[in-house]
Amino acid sequence: MTSNGHPANYTSLTDATPNHVWSYDFVEARTHDGRKFRMLNLIDELTRECLAIRIDRRLRSTDVIDVLSDQFILRGVPDHIRSDNVLCREGIAA
């Protein structure tokens, strides 16, 4: 914990600029016939702009890497990337 009560890995957005912090997360939903699909959403935390959405029945860690690398090429690399997910090699139990 820092002196202001935030976790040590906390990134303040008070001095942030666009491209300072990106976040990605997964959303899962079902079609009208009950089939599952997932969405990978990537946003700029300051502007709340949706930078990318990848939709598929199954999303792998390589899909995350593809989306991020595409955006790095288009927009440059952000200072921080935030996620509550852990990337692991496919086929290994977490």
pLDDT of 5: 65
Q: Is residue 13 part of a domain?
A: no
Q: Is residue 89 part of a domain?
A: no
- One digit per residue, pLDDT tens: the chain, 94 residues? 566 666 666 656 555 789 999 999 999 999 999 999 999 999 999 999 999 999 999 999 999 999 999 999 999 999 999 998 655 555 444 4
Q: Is residue 62 part of a domain?
A: yes
pLDDT of 16: 74
> Which phi and psi (to 5°) does residue 81 adopt?
-125, 125
pLDDT of 66: 97
pLDDT of 48: 93
pLDDT of 94: 42
Q: Is residue 87 part of a domain?
A: no
Q: Is residue 53 part of a domain?
A: yes
Q: Which domain holds residue 57?
A: 21-82
pLDDT of 44: 94
Secondary structure in 3-state letters for the chain: CCCCCCCCCCCCCCCCCCCCEEEEEEEEEECCCCCEEEEEEEEECCCCCEEEEEEECCCCHHHHHHHHHHHHHHHCCCCEEECCCCCCCCCCCC
**Tally of domains in the chain:** 1
Q: Is residue 8 part of a domain?
A: no
Q: Is residue 6 part of a domain?
A: no
Question: Would the pTM count as exceeding 0.85?
Answer: no
Confirm if 41 and 24 have CB atoms less than 8 A apart.
Answer: yes
Q: Is residue 69 part of a domain?
A: yes
